[in-house]
Chain A
Amino acid sequence: MTNSAVRMTGVVKRFPGVVANDGVNFEVLKGEVHALLGENGAGKSTLSNILTGLYRPDEGTIELNGAPMSFASPKAALDAGIGMVHQHFRLVEPFTVAENVILGNQETPFLIDAESIIDRVNELAARYDMAVDPNAKIWQLSVGEQQRVEILKVLYRGAQVLILDEPTAVLTPIEADALFRTLRAMTAEGRTVIFISHKLDEVMSVSDRITVLRGGRTVGTVATMDTSTRELASMMVGRSVEFSRVVRRNPGVPADVVLSLSQVNCDDDRGRHALHDVSLTVGRGEIVGVAGVAGNGQRELAEVIAGMRSSTSGRIAVAGNEVPNGKARAAIAGGVAHVPEDRLHTGLAAGHSVEDNMALKNYRTPLLSKFGLLRRNVIATQASDLVTKYDVKTPDTATPVRLLSGGNVQKVLLAREFSTRPKVLMAASPTRGLDVGAIETVRGRLVEAADDGVGILLISEDLEEIMSLADRIVVIYEGRLVADMPAADATREQLGLLMGGAKMEASR
């Protein structure tokens, strides 16, 4: 087809242990906005990295305007007219906008002529309706303006195909609207835009056609006018195998609240508002699942409850007692246990032995230390008891945890957290990266703890996990809890829609 701007056929990319792209077919027409839709881990980023020359595909072909291409480097792709606007901006902060725009451009003369560059930047910016001061330093700009600089950079290089990786993730709604206008202005001139996203609403509003990826494969390509958010959601999450809900020995008691958050707000590491008025309760023995696409405030939620991050307002109480803001030790003393997402770095001291890691939470108790001196023999006994109880496969308790397999690392962490007899346990993606057997063990432990009365907050991107374990499901989107429903009433499709930012009404 002569109208094709980019055509990728049978693209396969393997990484050690994962097939990120497994025979992806993907065609983009000239002058269209083509959305690439998929959950995290569906293979979108890998595909765009192949297209921009950062990765080389193991199999498959790439055609640009009908001619076969293979890119040895990002520069080669850029020279061929494919420009990438990264989610994490590639900008030199102390430089001006103009300096960033000309960076690496062959045509820039040896002596920099600031005037003519500024003129050209202004001209490009005006043409595509992007207000930005060429003389401003990057660090002075808002995130939305920085993104415009990224776009200007690739336009200045003459890119005909622009790839935008989750461009709205960092934008305010007004900035996002401005971006969409810019994209329209570009396609009106015959440029092509590939728009990577997992947000259904914006994909529907900005794109001409949509290709959905799931598990590294192409699910299909549809014209935006012929589809709906509902159809896209089911394509994105898949109507996969039936799963069964776990059988609970003791159902939870939602009325007996062990963890409550009321109107909690906090900022992320970059100082942006990450949680907006989050209110949530977990009852004794109840498992509450927090569903959402990564980066929507899950990490901040867990850290705020664990006392690792200070809230800017709001109250957190464990079993009725308010927990002081941002004090991890007080949270632990109050009965909060935490199985963090990054188990080997946040959860455990990777280079330390199994027994030291198991004592990390209760080494201060008189049982394990006296006069500030550790009682090594008691610590060793505690560890070997836990190793037996939790069936940790380790040569001995002196082995550093980093040498254990993922499943056993998680068992060490769970053993430690449960050994403090918590009232609440937060588990963030507790089975990610584990093999089937380990997944079963970990899930079993969580259910067992809930049966024993521990309130569990299960934060996971894995819908199947949430739907099979949770009694109640809340959905987090852009730092807000957008839904709260009994698990029995939830459907995959509906959760998929909510996770993608569709309004509650739309899903009913």
Chain B
Amino acid sequence: MNSNIFIVIAWSAIFYGTPLFFAALGGVFTERSGVLNLGVEGMMLIGGVTGAWASLHVGGSAWFTLSAAICIAMAAGAVVAALHAFLCVTLKANQTVAGLSITIFAGAVGLSSYFANIWKVAEDPVTRQIRRLDVFGLADTPIVGPLLFNHTILTYLSWVMCAVASWYLFRTKIGLQLRAVGESPQTADAMGINVVKYRYIHTMLGGALAGLGGAFYSLAIVPTWVDGMTKGAGWIAIALVIFGFWRPGLTLLGAYLFGALQSLGTVLKSRSFDIPGDVLDALPFVMTIVVLVLVSTRFAHKRIGAPAALGVPYEREER
């Protein structure tokens, strides 16, 4: 691998940014429907542990095993998200509380660790991990080769997803209706759009993508299961949704920025820069706080176009 430090950091930004992007893209869908999901961290960990389990236990070729692991991780994330949707949409619970509960329930010292224990997934590294692909044999091209053509298939998939998501949100009828549900469920309902259906589907889609992001940690980054391995990535993803103004393209850029911050510690330490590791590890979270504070002012919220009904349960007006 090319050892130029900037290329290493840029490559790492994309590599570490990929799971952040998956989870944040899920958040874009969920929040566009008007549901706030603070359970992302929990859903990522569930995706991580189920993905790790599947890679150890599903037989067949490496391709088949890893595909199955990814599907299982996404399905598991979607199931947890369905619980969130049930709480928020059907029971009209407070979305902040529901999301926090899910992260606590499924998260680092909860369900994901329990599964890891009973399935004994933490004992061995995963035998089948998602490896980098040298697409088109371009990996050895100077600069762009290592930077852009030396990633896992999931990174390439994320670029496709980003384009598809933009197209879906802004060019299709379903996307238009989804955005209407998040902006003004009263209007959507009056026009015959099924608010509940849209919210369930997109909350579950968000959960599936969070699960995918989690699986990226256990199958590609680490690659094995470690309790609480996402280390707050879910929270960064939630900030990223806002940072990306609820748009897939900007969210992708934001994910790479945070990916760079996350990797900075590792890269600089390995090159014996004299900065305390803890400070570097804290960087993405400091940035998260800064972003959240900046955008949570009323002014910013109006300007950057948060879905107007975000976090508000929808009830038909009855007397």
Contact = CB atoms under 8 A, between A and B. Distances in A.
Given A99-B176, A103-B176, A94 B191 contact: no
A73 B318 CA distance: 13
Contact of B191 (A20, A54, A90, A93): A90
Contacts of A94: 183, 305, 308
Interface stretch (B75-83, B98-106, B166-174): B166-174
B174 A104 contact: no
28 contacts: A15-B319, A55-B318, A73-B192, A74-B190, A74-B192, A75-B191, A78-B192, A84-B190, A90-B187, A90-B191, A92-B179, A92-B183, A92-B184, A92-B187, A95-B180, A102-B173, A103-B177, A103-B188, A103-B191, A103-B193, A104-B188, A104-B191, A104-B192, A105-B191, A109-B173, A110-B172, A110-B174, A112-B173
Select the residue from B190, B305, B308, B319 with max chain A CB neighbours within 10 A: B190
A104 B193 contact: yes
B180 to A, nearest CB: 5
B316 interface: yes
Given A75-B192, A86-B190, 15 more contacts: A73-B192, A75-B191, A79-B192, A90-B187, A90-B191, A95-B179, A95-B180, A95-B183, A102-B173, A103-B177, A103-B188, A103-B191, A103-B193, A109-B173, A111-B172
B134 interface: no
Contacts of B174: 110
A108 interface: yes
B192 A90 contact: no
A93 B183 contact: yes
A8 interface: no
A74 B193 contact: no
4 pairs of A and B residues whose beta carbons are closest in the complex: A104-B191, A75-B192, A90-B187, A15-B319
Interface in B151-179: 171-174, 176-177, 179
Interface in B267-319: 305, 308, 316, 318-319
A104 B197 CA distance: 14
Nearest to B183: A92
A93 to B, nearest CB: 7
Interface in B179-201: 179-180, 183-184, 186-193
Nearest to B317: A54
Contacts of A55: 318
Contacts of B172: 110-112
A103 B189 contact: no
A457 interface: no
Contacts, number: 71
Interface string B126-155: 000000000000000000000000000000
Contacts of A112: 171-173, 176
B173 A110 contact: yes
Given A54-B316, A103-B180, A108 B173 contact: yes
B171 A74 contact: no
Nearest to B167: A111
A358 interface: no
Contact of A103 (B187, B308, B319): B187
B130 to A, nearest CB: 33
B184 A91 contact: yes
B303 to A, nearest CB: 11
Contacts of A92: 179-180, 183-184, 187-188
Contacts of A95: 176, 179-180, 183
Contacts of A91: 184, 187
A110 B177 CA distance: 11
B152 to A, nearest CB: 32
A192 to B, nearest CB: 20
Interface string B185-220: 011111111000000000000000000000000000
Nearest to B175: A112
Contacts of A105: 191
A78 B237 CA distance: 40
Nearest to A153: B191
Contacts of A74: 189-190, 192
Contacts of B177: 103-104
Contacts of A108: 173
B194 to A, nearest CB: 9
Nearest to A103: B191
Contacts of B176: 95, 99, 102-103, 112
